[in-house]
Amino acid sequence: MKKIAAVIIFVFMAGIAGASTYTAIGTISPGTRARSSTINDLNSNIATAFALLPDEDELALGTFNAALDTGTANTYLVSLPTTPAAYVDNMQVVMIPLNTNTGASTINVDSLGVVSIRLQDGSTALSAGDIVVGVPVELRYSSVTGFFHINRAPATSGAVLDSDFDATTFLYATSDNSPQAKTPTEVRAILNTSKGNLTGKIAHASSTDATYNIPEDQHYGGSASNGDADAIEMDLDAALAGMSIIIRDGAGGVITLDPNGTDYIVYDGTAGSAGEAFISSGAKYDFMTLVCYDAGVWEVVGHDTNGWTEETP
């Protein structure tokens, strides 16, 4: 009864506001008898108004603007439960597409005319896969643009690297912008690391080993230090453009910083010999900051005042 009462109120309010769903009868004066024709007109007008409204199930389920597509891919054709007289601003169509689109697409609603479907930016035509077979898509019309616009993100943009995609290979760009083939599992592992270029937290580690082969992630905005006062050799990876690292004496042990292969270090504007290491003074908090702008070359952009010396060949 509450639903019926609500709809009756809606019908009569629509009539008061001047809408076409209800036609008011003439005013009956107080104290007079209403003619049967007047009552019959009232009954007929109410019946006509209700016939123009969505039924109770459509209202309850929100399907009064829903339609099944009967067209072809890129050329969608629908009929709404209530036939509109014309395209109007903000007109909504919720369509179950019969086909996935393969490019720019159009829609024709109740034979009112073919209209292009565009994205929410106002002008961009659809790309392949923006409409997916069987997936409801909400469209709204604008008389300003003359288009129907998809009222959601493209259906394919929500793809995530979950188990459904584990058989697919993805390209992952390394810090030097060279692509590598990675499975989704490998990509997830990369995204779950604390590398500085992903999380903003630098990769840092210290070592008490006599020789410390600095891990790859510390070469990209990270740092490395010795953990005790014993001498330590720190071995750098091959220098690739985009790498940077801070070497720090954390405990007062001499650091021998050894570049990879024929790489060399430019210290205070002077290039060292190919493959030759630089040695710290052994004072606690000695440091050297290295940046690679060109493959094979480490440039020192900052160091402690104690200074570093090139290892004797």
pLDDT of residue 138: 92
Residue 19 has pLDDT above 80, yes or no: no
If you ran DSSP here, which 8-state letter would residue 213 be given?
A: E
Give per-residue pLDDT as tens, 140-150: 999 999 999 99
> What pLDDT, on the 0 to 100 scale, is given for residue 87?
95
Contact between residue 137 and residue 152 where contact means Cβ atoms under 8 Å apart: yes
pLDDT of 49 over the 80 cut: no
Rounded to 5 degrees, what angle do the CA atoms 176, 191, 183 make? 80
- Exposed e or buried b per residue across 85-109, where buried means at least 16 C-beta atoms within 10 angstroms of its C-beta: eebeeebebbbebbbbbeeebbbeb
User: Tokens standing for 211?
Assistant: 């020789």
Neighbour count for residue 260 (Cβ, 10 Å): 14
| b/e burial code for range 153-186 (CB count within 10 A of at least 16 → b) | ebbeeeeebeeeeeeeeeeeeebeeeeeebbbee
CA angle 101–148–118, rounded 5-degree value: 55
Of 17-26, 64-73, 141-150, 157-166, the least confident: 157-166
- Helices 2-16 & 36-51, crossing angle to 10 degrees? 100
| 258: β partners | 235
Separation of alpha carbons 228 and 203, rounded Å:
19
Share of the chain above pLDDT 90, in %: 52
Q: Positive or negative CA dihedral for 5, 6, 9, 15?
A: negative
Closest CA to 266 of 254, 278, 256: 278
What confidence score (pLDDT) does residue 213 get?
96
Considering the chain, what is the average pLDDT of its residues?
81
Q: What is the pLDDT of residues 80-99, one digit of tens each?
A: 887 889 999 999 899 899 99
Q: What is the pTM of this model?
A: 0.41
The more confidently predicted of residues 285 and 31 is: 285
**pLDDT (0 to 100) of residue 175:** 58
Q: Where does 162-245 have alpha helices with state H?
A: 184-191, 196-199
Q: Is 245 helix (H, G, I), strand (E, B) or coil?
A: strand
Name residue 85's amino acid. Answer: A
DSSP, res 121: T
Over residues 190-217, the mean pLDDT reads 76
* pLDDT, average across residues 134-143: 92
Q: What angle do CA 220, 247, 272 make, to 5 degrees?
A: 95
Selection from 160, 85, 148 nearest residue 118 by Cα: 148
Q: Which residues pair with 232 in a beta bridge?
A: 255
Higher pLDDT, 188 or 124: 124
pLDDT of 12 above 50: no
pLDDT digits (tens, 9 = 90+) for 164-176: 445 556 666 665 6
Query: Residue 306's pLDDT band (boundaries 50, 70, 90)?
Result: very high
Residue 55's pLDDT band (cuts 50, 70, 90): low
